Amino acid sequence: MTAMLLDVDRSSTDAELLHAATHWVAAHVPPTWREASVRGRNAIRKVRPLAEYEAWYPLFADSGLAVATWPREYLGLGLTQAQARVLDSVLGPLNLGRLNPLGLNNAAPALFAYGTEEQRLRYLPPIVRNDERWCQLFSEPGAGSDLASLATRAVRDGDLWILTGQKVWTTWAHESRFGLCLARTDPSAPKRKGLTYFIVDLEDPRVTVRELRHIGGEVDFNEVWLDGVEVPDTSRLGAIGEGWRAANATLSGERQMVAGAGSGGVDRIGGSGADRLIRTAGSNGIWSDSLVRQRLTSLYAEESVRRWTNERVRATVKAGGTPGPGASIGKVHQGALNQRIQLAATDVLGTGALAWETSAPATGPQAWAAGLPYEVKGMLRSRANTIEGGTTEVNKNVLGEQVLGLPREPDPYHELAWNATPRS
């Protein structure tokens, strides 16, 4: 790796930062992207295919601009939040989105909070460069909402841990190098206390990743089998038995990301925003219906409030505060809001949402989905928004207990040994 970090630091003035960023952009951002940026973010997407962006991206990462507030040894620039905002004023119009969202939002917070310095130096720079992607090996067939009851075992063998179990719904495991894995190291301890957090190398031949295809036809998540996988003790993240606490650094980052409050800025998963619907309704004539106008402008207003609220959470995090239960508020609202927006999108299309032709001769169980309009795929994908990253019901429990101070949900097995509790 030949990082060419920008020559700026905490003592740099705003003028120096602007000069450095502008100079870097002129030297390294392809002219077609810069020209398109004048016409807006969508115009950039049109001239910048994802594959081209991915090929170029390590150059951006090596400048330190992708994670400007991180320390320089992890490919950041060690800047303050205020300085990073100055850089953003130059980079923002170029729509230089950060790749590797699970690495940045799920793995990195855990590595910062619980990793050793050796682990941070090994794993963080390839995350920033998008050289090594990550996934989250938490959920199991019998442990989703009640994650702490999970059954994947990790047994110590000298300097190694032997991991055996099955994970499911593992987003992007099929294209990840590493997985953050929560496993049970002490079955005789209460369920939350017997867990330990590990970094699993998915290239190990004893790991089997099997793709799951979802209703819109795409593959996003997987089943993952760990069949006696050998994990060195140096790949343990945090103390033995402290896995629950360490994994929560990841879960909080995930909730922010799914709600759009995370630094990755994923504002919605599935479909497109209310502004696009309004444009579609304007062009296909349905906008003349006052009830449609009322519905779409109401969604637009609600989406704007959601965005501003997310910006406030982001600002709190950037200022050094913790998102905590606040991230769950965004998650609960965003999931349901996006489902309403995507349902409206299919209504706006009218019969266009139902009839389609497949140009590609697709076969197999996903063939029917090959010709689905973009809006319908978005609507189908959005059904998962109230499940992924913790279900709405469970996040409401979190809000009730941690924000409103209501009594905790009763759990008769809370302090009972895990191997003495009934499980599905």
Residues making contact with ligand FAD (CB under 6 A): 135-136, 138-139, 144-145, 169-171, 221, 384, 387-388, 390-391, 393-394, 397, 409
CB of 274 to ligand FAD, least distance (A): 22
State residue 341 phi and psi, 5-degree precision: -65, -45
The least distance separating ligand FAD from the CB of residue 146, rounded to whole angstroms, comes to 6
Residue 126 · residue 104 · CB < 8 Å: no
Q: Which residue is nearest to ligand FAD (CB)?
A: 144
Q: Whose Cβ is closer to ligand FAD: residue 171's or residue 185's? A: 171
> What is the closest distance, in whole angstroms, from the C-beta atom of residue 135 to ligand FAD in the complex?
6
Smallest separation, CB 89 to ligand FAD (Å): 34
Distance CA 264, CA 66 (A): 11
Mapped onto helix, strand or coil, the DSSP state of residue 418 is: helix
Nearer to ligand FAD, 193 or 255 (CB): 255
Strand partners, 417: 190
**Rounded distance, CA 158 to CA 141, Å?**
30
Question: In terms of C-beta density within 10 A (0-12 exposed, 13-18 middle, 19 or more buried), how is residue 308 classed?
Answer: exposed
- The DSSP secondary structure of 337-390, one letter per residue, reads HHHHHHHHHHHHHGGGGT-----S---STTGGGTT--HHHHHHHHHGGGGTTTS
Identity of the residue, 166 or 346, whose beta carbon is nearer to ligand FAD in the bound complex: 166
Closer by beta carbon to ligand FAD, 14 or else 393: 393
Instruction: State which amino acid sits at residue 335.
Output: G
d(CA 158, CA 151): 22
Cβ atoms < 10 Å from Cβ of 231: 20
**Minimum CB distance to ligand FAD, residue 75 (Å):** 24
Angle value at C-alpha 58, between 316 and 270, nearest 5 degrees: 55
Q: How far is the CB of 141 from ligand FAD (least distance, A)?
A: 8
DSSP annotation of 313 reads H
Minimum distance, C-beta of residue 394 to ligand FAD, in the bound complex (Å): 5
Q: Which is nearer to ligand FAD, 21 or 135 (CB)?
A: 135
In the complex with ligand FAD, the residue whose CB is nearer, 306 or 331, is 331
Please calculate the CA angle 42-46-49 and round it to the nearest 5 degrees: 120
Instruction: Decide: helix, strand or coil at residue 247.
Output: helix
Residue (74 or 221) nearer to ligand FAD, CB: 221
Q: How far is the CB of 262 from ligand FAD (least distance, A)?
A: 14
Identify which of residues 192 and 295 has a Cβ nearer to ligand FAD in the complex.
Answer: 192
**Closest Cα to residue 106, out of 284, 220, 303, 246?**
246
Half-sphere exposure of residue 92: CA atoms within 13 angstroms, side-chain side: 8
In angstroms, what is the minimal distance from the CB of 179 to ligand FAD? 9
Q: By C-beta, is 178 or 221 nearer to ligand FAD?
A: 221
Backbone φ and ψ of 123, nearest 5°: -100, -35
